[in-house]
Amino acid sequence: MEKTSKKLFIFNLCIIFGILVIRRCNATTYFVGDTSGWDISSDLESWPLGKRFSVGDVLMFQYSSTHSVYEVAKDNFQSCNTTVPIRTFTNGNTTVALSKPGDRFFVCGNRLHCFAGMRLQVNVEGNGPSSAPVGAPRAAPAGILEPSSKKNNPATGVASSAAHVGGRGLRGSMKYFVYLMVFTFPLILYFINN
């Protein structure tokens, strides 16, 4: 009886671990502004077009010391009001987890930069990370630098949006690998112990 409960515990632990890993594998990290980063030269108004942001995804803001990232309420977004931010970031390399569905609003702490276009609205969908539907645009592959600026500046060395490798993307292949491991590992343990 004790051996059976131990196996059942290990089986349940594997399932829970697998679910957690699968949820994390589906998340995407987006580099805001692609190769131009969070900068006044980036076309931040059109940057989110064609991208699908889901709960669990991450926004990565990379910027110089002349900029900052303020998360603000919708009312303060259009007017570039930074006097009552929700959160403030100034370290030059900011990661923001998209933890709940709904609209999120980000502006540069320098109001003049904000009025010049350094602001970003992101619509976060759903209850968890999910792959884009068939035929939906995908994020650019990692390592391929494609400028995303108003001036069409050459690439600055900032990685492009979202880690996708190959046709299906990293999230697709990793998901199937994790499924395979989650469901075969308990079976392997069962046969080893019997």
Residue-wise pLDDT tens digits, 152-188: 333 333 344 444 333 334 444 455 556 666 666 666 6
Angstrom CA distances, 113 to 29, 77, 169, stand at: 25, 13, 35
Residue type, 63: Y
pLDDT score at 80? 96
User: Model confidence over 31-69: pLDDT tens digits?
Assistant: 999 999 999 999 999 999 999 999 999 999 999 999 999
Q: Answer yes or no: are the C-beta atoms of 62 and 37 closer than 8 Å.
A: yes
Per residue, the 3-state secondary structure of 113-141, as one string, reads: HHHCCCEEEEEEECCCCCCCCCCCCCCCC
Q: Answer yes or no: are the C-beta atoms of 178 and 185 closer than 8 Å.
A: no
Tell me the whole-structure pTM to 2 decimals.
0.59
